[in-house]
Amino acid sequence: MQSATKMNSWLLNYPKAGDQIRLFCLPYAGGGASVYRGWQEAFPAEVGVYPLQLPGRENRISEQPICSMQELVYALAEVVIPHLDRPFMLFGHSLGARIAFELARHLRRVGERQPSRLIVSGSRAPHIPEPKPVHHLPDDAFIRELRRLAGTPETILESRELINLFLPMLRADFTVDETYSCVEDKPLSCPITAFGGTKDTEAAQEEIEAWQFHTTGNVSLEMIDGDHFFVQTRRDILLPAVSTVLRQYVSQLVDLPQQ
């Protein structure tokens, strides 16, 4: 069991009692909670946005990063379960999408509330493995791959001091992603909204469409003009689209008959 202080470090903002629905957000490999800065302002006031901060980055840079999907999901479940007294959705980009999926499955296994919707972005369906793993490469080769993927700022890649600081976290995230194996289980029941980048070389449209095999609910797909990191570069399109999903859910809550 994590201490209260440790659990609070995973959530930059404590969930508000007035939330009608909560959106928990998970970052991509090498990313942190700051990826979701400004999202709260883009969504209806009834929605609480709660980015989850994994250890080993940003305000948790001094902590040991986690290298196992199972360990990561178990830790995240401890953090979110106390805040599932409201309907909630999970959002994840790339690795974050697969973490969100496994978190939903774990919550189901332990008898907790299920997400009202899973929102995945820039991610192959979880049963499709990474075709070219890089987490095991020597540092120089690993750094070359990071530069090719273009998700790590060049200022970090060019500085030996900075890259040495960030390498443990980056390698841990890629290890989580590339050693992850989707164990067969019954599909989720919640609907899935999927976003993809038209120029994304890491998650092709047909690989994103394959999320349909992991739920009995409705699956919708929206392709955004951009590369793998459209979550940052095309916020002007992504945030209104996510907001529409949230507004539709909030309006359904308003229309429900009072008990």
- Tens of pLDDT, residue by residue over 43-68, are 999 999 999 999 999 999 999 999 99
pLDDT in tens, 205-244: 999 999 999 999 999 999 999 999 999 999 999 999 999 9
Asked whether 76 and 110 are in contact (CB, 8 A), the reply is no
Band of the pLDDT at 258, cuts 50, 70, 90?
very low
Both tokens assigned to 94: 């790339």
Structural domain contains residue 59: yes
Catalytic residue among 94, 116, 121, 123: 94
For the chain, what is the domain count?
A: 1
Structural domain contains residue 94: yes
Residues in the chain: 259
User: Is the pTM here over 0.75, yes or no?
Assistant: yes
Structural domain contains residue 32: yes
Scanning the chain, the segments in alpha helix (DSSP H) are 4-10, 39-42, 69-80, 95-109, 139-149, 154-157, 160-179, 205-209, 230-233, 235-255
Structural domain contains residue 259: no
Q: Is 94 a catalytic residue?
A: yes
Residue 233's CATH number: 3.40.50.1820
Residue 49 DSSP SS3: strand
Both tokens assigned to 78: 């401890």
Structural domain contains residue 144: no
| Among candidate residues 129, 132, 135, 91, the one with its CA nearest the CA of residue 231 | 91
